[in-house]
Amino acid sequence: MKTPMTRRGADKLREELHRLKTVERPANSQAIGEARAHGDLSENAEYHAARERAGFIEGRISEIEAKLANAQVVDPKLVDAEGRCVFGATVDVETDGESATWQIVGEDEADIKAGRISYSSPIGKALIGKEPGEIVNVQTPGGVKRYEILDVRYE
């Protein structure tokens, strides 16, 4: 099953993968070599920490490679959803007299402070398929919140 993500999200994952492979992995290999040179490995905390870090790095590399292999990169500018809220769209909403602007993105890209919400979040799920002028009710930890969709853009 393909996982949707924006071009920015895919680029960010590619950058992290490159850093892990070209900076983190070699630096950690060097740390393992240095710790090994200190002698007895059974009681060498530096060696065990570096080996644990190597496991984390390799696991993250595998995870990112799998995500990129299964990614369906969506360019919001190329979406023609006739005004409906879809993955990649930027949505202006109003709730309790306050307005907010969110872009609907993939799970790895979500950052509420940066105005990006996941398509799989309760708000994201409620907004998908809706049009400006529609009202959505979302169950939140603080109760049901009512959002009015003001505008949907594909930028």
Residue pLDDT, tens place only, 65-123 = 999 999 999 988 887 788 899 999 999 999 988 999 999 999 989 999 999 999 999 99
> What's the pLDDT at 40?
73
Domain boundaries, the chain: 3-73, 76-153
Q: Is the pLDDT of residue 42 over 80?
A: no
- Strands (E) in the chain, as ranges, are 3-6, 71-74, 90-95, 98-105, 116-118, 135-140, 143-153
134-155 tens-digit pLDDT: 999 999 888 899 999 999 999 8
CATH class of segment(s) 3-73? mainly alpha
> Which of 20 and 36 is assigned the larger pLDDT?
20
Query: Whole-structure pTM over 0.75, yes or no?
Result: yes
| Spatial distance between the Cα atoms of 57 and 20, rounded to a whole number of angstroms | 7
Q: Is the pLDDT of residue 127 over 90?
A: yes
Mean pLDDT check: name the lowest of 18-32, 55-69, 74-88.
74-88
DSSP state of 111: B
- Chosen CATH of 76-153 out of 3.30.300.30, 3.90.120.10, 3.10.50.30, 1.10.260.40: 3.10.50.30
